[in-house]
């Protein structure tokens, strides 16, 4: 039976909700008074900021990550920046405007109250990070600098060259280290959570694998927080770090946590195109490049064919023969339309034969105009490390002048194509970031909370740090207030025994299949199925085929997998096999959700539901809800519950980036 979900949003008009909420905290500043333990799984921006804040507030925190240092969490990959409504540019920005842009960018599928809270705390994040010493870019006069990201007509993105995530993570890590030194946070690196332990219906601990010794260990606490990132690697090729996985989230889902909106997967328009079948990773070229880079394909099909054949180069095509298709189709936002819109537009051009590389699956991102206008030094100051990264991978330096036509200099353009990048779906959480399992919280990319069907650029770091520094430390107290009189449960309880035995049995099962195929070969095949049938353009028929193929491949995984080595000691292949087992569950979940949502919205594009101009066609009458899935067993269709969306402050309308 589908359940009714309580989002716990306090009553009252949206802008008042968070204030009212804070006023109702029941357990304020427990510093040194209460002995309450919290497990935080993950040390990315969400996990590290939450662990540091909870430690500072006086909780005893157990913090785990799979890397050898918290500083190596996937969050360091974030390049472009972090949004906040400071309005330093005097361009009319405000908390309301950031709130509005985020809801609109998410194609009106986000929970309105959560997004308002996010916009409201965005400014605190910048202050917090500046205080930690994060070296944000500054103007000549000392003010923090800003640039623009997609879906906004103001400049509100704070950045540290092209390495914003790394600098923010170093800030969070220094706070975390203070708490480690103070004895409030105990850090476990190279540990992977394999299961959540439920005692009397509440999350009371986890089973984790020491990735170096291979031993399973038990941890108990008064609450468990997962901050374990997204599930983009289900598609095998993505911009996510190789280690990103959804094991913790999927295991929570198997144990009863609902999974929300899994079909909302973000495909980023500016990635280096796939160049062969030996590739295991795709590289993002930051969205910030769209501030100064212009996206185009040739106007003439014969030019496109010559580019594909390698008989012509992009810089030989003069200005009048270039189709800046985003500027043409979306004059108001131009190259800065949101990612889902830009990705679909690139696909549309390539599908029509205008792709510019040998596979026909690429478009140009060109800096000629901005270098001619601003000079190469300014462009290098803004994007130097991204240009160098592009050169290292492709051997083309986008700052090299290559041609001059009628006195205009043409520089070597980048080639880009959409790739899997971010997952808006995630574990369902209420307004307090608590999942459907009491005592289990989810923050950062692994929850579904704030981005609706499409995330705007530079908003993931904002959400992760909002959750970690400013939301969870307040909201978790409502749960912990009732726990203050509860002793921490013993890890000798039968529930811990059973969970550990089940994990151990799974490790044995995977090792004993002793088939012929490597984890990567099966994962790559899963990725192909996902991209082909559950990717940028989906149809009911394709999704059904995809599900069938996934079931068949999962059988192959269960019967013909080969994992070398043993459970004892380091066994990376075994760890990857566990991740792949969970990518199968996730892939099917994405397909089920996509199949059930007979509309197009944001990153979920069902080809049957599009306007004449090829834009996503929503169906608010029937699909204005959060789709929340409940696990019903392996190979069994999960059950859908719905959280209806309620909008008070924003009028729900069709997105328009044209004028
Ligand atoms: C190339 C790239 C560039 C990006 N640029 C930007 C940008 O400019 N601006 C922006 O806002 N966003 C950007 N993003 C998105 C953003 O980086 C991520 O959404 C965000 O960093 C996720 O943070 P997180 O803390 O939720 O998860 P992560 O940073 O993924 O951290 C997950 C943590 O969980 C741990 N973990 C995972 N599984 C387990 C387990 N089972 N047991 C124990 N620990 C586990 C990991 O060790 C890690 O510590 C970018 C993403 C990519 C891929």
pLDDT single digits (tens) 53-107? 999 988 999 999 999 999 999 999 998 899 999 999 999 999 999 999 999 999 9
* Total Cβ atoms within 10 A of residue 188: 18
Task: Please determine, for residue 29, whether its predicted confidence score (pLDDT) is greater than 60.
Answer: no
Average pLDDT over residues 485-497: 88
What's the gap in Å between 461 CA and the centre of ligand 1? 9
Supply the mean pLDDT for the chain.
93
Give the C-alpha separation, 608 to 601, whole Å.
12
> Would you say the CB of residue 65 lies under 6 angstroms from ligand 1?
yes
* Total Cβ atoms within 10 A of residue 511: 19
Structure tokens of 116? Answer: 């308002």
Task: Please determine, for residue 26, whether its predicted confidence score (pLDDT) is greater than 70.
Answer: no
pLDDT at 137: 94
> Would you say the CB of residue 472 lies under 6 angstroms from ligand 1?
no
pLDDT band for position 21 (50/70/90)? low
The active-site residue, picked from 202, 329, 339, 581, is 339
Task: Please determine, for residue 444, whether its predicted confidence score (pLDDT) is greater than 60.
Answer: yes
297: helix, coil or strand? strand
The 3-state secondary structure of 301-336, one letter per residue: HHHHHHHHHCCCCHHHCCHHHEECHHHHHCCCCHHH
361-391 pLDDT, tens digit per residue, is: 999 999 999 999 999 999 998 889 889 999 9
- Among 57-71, 131-145, 266-280, 305-319, name the one with the lowest average pLDDT: 266-280
Longest CA–CA span in the chain (Å) reads 80
What φ, ψ does residue 133 adopt, rounded to 5°? 95, 15
Cβ–Cβ under 8 Å, residues 217 and 207: yes
Q: How many angstroms separate the Cα of 229 from the Cα of each of 202, 447, 575, 585?
A: 22, 8, 17, 16
Cβ–Cβ under 8 Å, residues 81 and 158: yes
What's the gap in Å between 375 CA and the centre of ligand 1? 34
259: helix, coil or strand? strand
Cβ–Cβ under 8 Å, residues 167 and 160: yes
Structure tokens of 631? Answer: 């696990």
176: helix, coil or strand? helix
Residue tagged 């939450």 (tokens): 50
What φ, ψ does residue 627 adopt, rounded to 5°? -85, 120
pLDDT band for position 220 (50/70/90)? very high
Q: How many angstroms separate the Cα of 186 from the Cα of each of 32, 38, 51, 189, 330?
A: 16, 11, 10, 10, 51
What's the gap in Å between 228 CA and the centre of ligand 1? 7
Residue 538 neighbours by CB under 8 Å, 6+ apart: 594, 604, 605, 606, 607
According to DSSP, the β-strands at 60-65 and 37-41 are parallel
pLDDT band for position 22 (50/70/90)? low
Task: Please determine, for residue 18, whether its predicted confidence score (pLDDT) is greater than 80.
Answer: no
What's the gap in Å between 45 CA and the centre of ligand 1? 7
What's the gap in Å between 77 CA and the centre of ligand 1? 8
> Would you say the CB of residue 77 lies under 6 angstroms from ligand 1?
yes
* Total Cβ atoms within 10 A of residue 504: 15
What's the gap in Å between 514 CA and the centre of ligand 1? 33
> Would you say the CB of residue 46 lies under 6 angstroms from ligand 1?
yes
pLDDT at 19: 66
Probe target for ligand 1 pocket from 445, 503, 576, with the most ligand atoms within 8 Å of CB: 445
Task: State pTM to two decimals.
Answer: 0.94
Number of the ligand 1 atom closest to the C-alpha atom of 42: 34
Probe target for ligand 1 pocket from 44, 189, 210, 253, with the most ligand atoms within 8 Å of CB: 44
Number of the ligand 1 atom closest to the C-alpha atom of 240: 53
Residue tagged 């599900």 (tokens): 547
Give the C-alpha separation, 653 to 643, whole Å.
20
pLDDT at 28: 46
> Would you say the CB of residue 193 lies under 6 angstroms from ligand 1?
yes
Residue whose C-alpha is closest to residue 422's, from 164, 166, 74: 74
Residue whose C-alpha is closest to residue 188's, from 302, 361, 331, 63: 63
165-206 pLDDT, tens digit per residue, is: 999 999 999 999 999 999 999 999 999 999 999 999 999 999
> Would you say the CB of residue 95 lies under 6 angstroms from ligand 1?
no
Q: How many angstroms separate the Cα of 85 from the Cα of each of 125, 152, 449, 658?
A: 10, 11, 19, 23
Number of the ligand 1 atom closest to the C-alpha atom of 80: 8
> Would you say the CB of residue 166 lies under 6 angstroms from ligand 1?
no
Cβ–Cβ under 8 Å, residues 62 and 491: no
Average pLDDT over residues 406-415: 93
Task: Please determine, for residue 512, whether its predicted confidence score (pLDDT) is greater than 90.
Answer: yes
What's the gap in Å between 68 CA and the centre of ligand 1? 15
Task: Please determine, for residue 570, whether its predicted confidence score (pLDDT) is greater than 90.
Answer: yes
| DSSP class per residue in 194-244 | EEEEEETTEEEEEEEEETTT--EEEEE-SEEEE-----GGGGSSSSS-TT-
Number of the ligand 1 atom closest to the C-alpha atom of 239: 53
pLDDT at 124: 96
pLDDT at 655: 84
Residue tagged 């990550």 (tokens): 65
Cβ–Cβ under 8 Å, residues 326 and 297: no
Number of the ligand 1 atom closest to the C-alpha atom of 45: 25
> Would you say the CB of residue 444 lies under 6 angstroms from ligand 1?
yes
Give the C-alpha separation, 18 to 451, whole Å.
18
391-404 pLDDT, tens digit per residue, is: 999 999 999 999 99
According to DSSP, the β-strands at 37-41 and 223-226 are parallel
Atom 51 of ligand 1: nearest residue by CA position? 78
Residue 279 neighbours by CB under 8 Å, 6+ apart: 237
Task: Please determine, for residue 5, whether its predicted confidence score (pLDDT) is greater than 50.
Answer: yes
For helices 540-560 and 572-596, what crossing angle results, to 10°? Answer: 160
What's the gap in Å between 494 CA and the centre of ligand 1? 34
> Would you say the CB of residue 442 lies under 6 angstroms from ligand 1?
no
pLDDT band for position 338 (50/70/90)? confident
- The answer to whether residue 339 is catalytic is yes
> Would you say the CB of residue 456 lies under 6 angstroms from ligand 1?
no
Task: Please determine, for residue 32, whether its predicted confidence score (pLDDT) is greater than 50.
Answer: no
Structure tokens of 19? Answer: 């204030």
Residue whose C-alpha is closest to residue 257's, from 500, 463, 426, 69: 426
> Would you say the CB of residue 399 lies under 6 angstroms from ligand 1?
no
Number of the ligand 1 atom closest to the C-alpha atom of 226: 34
Probe target for ligand 1 pocket from 64, 66, 224, 245, with the most ligand atoms within 8 Å of CB: 66
> Would you say the CB of residue 48 lies under 6 angstroms from ligand 1?
no
> Would you say the CB of residue 274 lies under 6 angstroms from ligand 1?
no
């Amino acid at each position: 039976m589908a359940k009714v979900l309580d989002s716990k949003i306090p009553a009252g008009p949206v802008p008042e909700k968070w204030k009212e909420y804070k006023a109702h905290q029941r357990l304020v500043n427990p510093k040194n008074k209460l002995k309450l333990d919290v497990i935080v799984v993950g040390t990315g921006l969400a996990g590290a900021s939450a662990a540091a804040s909870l430690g500072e507030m006086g909780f005893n925190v157990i913090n785990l990550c799979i890397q050898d240092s918290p500083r190596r969490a996937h969050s360091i990959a974030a390049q472009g920046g972090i949004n906040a409504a400071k309005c330093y540019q005097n361009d009319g920005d405000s908390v309301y405007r950031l709130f509005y842009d985020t809801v609109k960018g998410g194609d009106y599928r986000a929970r309105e109250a959560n997004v308002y809270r996010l916009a409201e705390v965005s400014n605190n994040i910048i202050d917090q990070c500046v205080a930690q010493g994060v070296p944000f870019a500054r103007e000549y006069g000392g003010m923090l600098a800003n640039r623009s990201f997609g879906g906004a007509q103001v400049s509100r993105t704070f950045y540290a060259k092209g390495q914003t995530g790394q600098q923010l993570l170093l800030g969070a890590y220094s706070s975390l280290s203070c708490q480690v030194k103070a004895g409030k946070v105990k850090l476990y690196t190279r540990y992977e959570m394999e299961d959540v332990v439920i005692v009397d219906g509440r999350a009371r601990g986890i089973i984790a694998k020491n990735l170096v010794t291979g031993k399973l260990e038990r941890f108990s606490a008064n609450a468990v927080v997962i901050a374990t990132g997204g599930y983009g690697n289900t598609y095998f090729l993505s911009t996510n770090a190789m280690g990103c996985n959804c094991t913790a989230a999927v295991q929570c889902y198997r144990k009863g946590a609902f999974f929300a909106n899994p079909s909302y997967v973000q495909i980023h328009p500016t990635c280096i195109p796939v160049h062969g079948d030996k590739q295991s990773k795709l590289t993002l070229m930051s969205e910030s490049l769209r501030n100064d880079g212009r996206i185009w394909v040739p106007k003439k099909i014969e030019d496109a064919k010559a580019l594909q054949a390698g008989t012509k180069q992009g810089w030989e095509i003069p200005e009048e023969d270039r189709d800046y298709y985003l500027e043409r189709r979306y004059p108001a936002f131009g190259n800065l339309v949101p990612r889902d819109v830009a990705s679909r537009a690139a696909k549309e051009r390539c599908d029509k034969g205008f792709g510019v590389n040998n596979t026909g699956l690429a478009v140009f991102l060109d800096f000629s105009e901005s270098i001619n206008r601003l000079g190469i030094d300014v462009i290098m100051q803004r994007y130097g490390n991204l240009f160098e990264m592009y050169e290292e991978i492709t051997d083309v330096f986008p700052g090299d002048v290559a041609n001059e036509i009628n006195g205009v200099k043409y520089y070597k353009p980048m080639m880009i194509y959409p790739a899997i990048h971010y997952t808006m779906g995630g574990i369902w959480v209420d307004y307090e970031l608590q999942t459907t399992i009491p005592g289990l919280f989810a923050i950062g990319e692994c929850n579904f909370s704030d981005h609706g069907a499409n995330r705007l650029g530079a908003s993931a770091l904002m959400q992760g740090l909002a959750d970690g520094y400013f939301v969870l430390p307040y909201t978790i107290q409502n749960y912990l207030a009732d726990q203050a009189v509860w002793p921490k449960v013993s890890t000798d309880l039968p529930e811990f025994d059973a969970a550990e035995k089940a994990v151990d049995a799974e490790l044995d099962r995977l090792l004993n299949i002793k088939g012929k195929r490597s984890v990567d070969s099966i994962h790559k095949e899963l990725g192909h199925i996902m991209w082909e049938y559950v990717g940028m353009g989906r149809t009911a028929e394709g999704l059904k085929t995809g599900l069938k193929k996934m079931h068949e491949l999962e059988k192959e995984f269960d019967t013909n997998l080969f994992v070398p080595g043993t459970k004892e000691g380091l066994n990376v292949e075994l760890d990857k096999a566990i991740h792949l087992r969970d990518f199968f569950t996730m892939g099917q979940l994405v397909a089920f959700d996509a199949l059930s949502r007979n509309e197009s919205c944001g990153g979920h594009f069902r080809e049957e539901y599009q306007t004449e101009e090829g834009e996503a066609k929503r169906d608010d009458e029937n699909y204005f809800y959060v789709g929340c899935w409940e696990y019903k067993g392996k190979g069994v269709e999960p059950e859908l519950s719905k959280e209806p969306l309620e909008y008070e402050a924003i009028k729900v309308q069709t997105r328009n980036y044209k004028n």
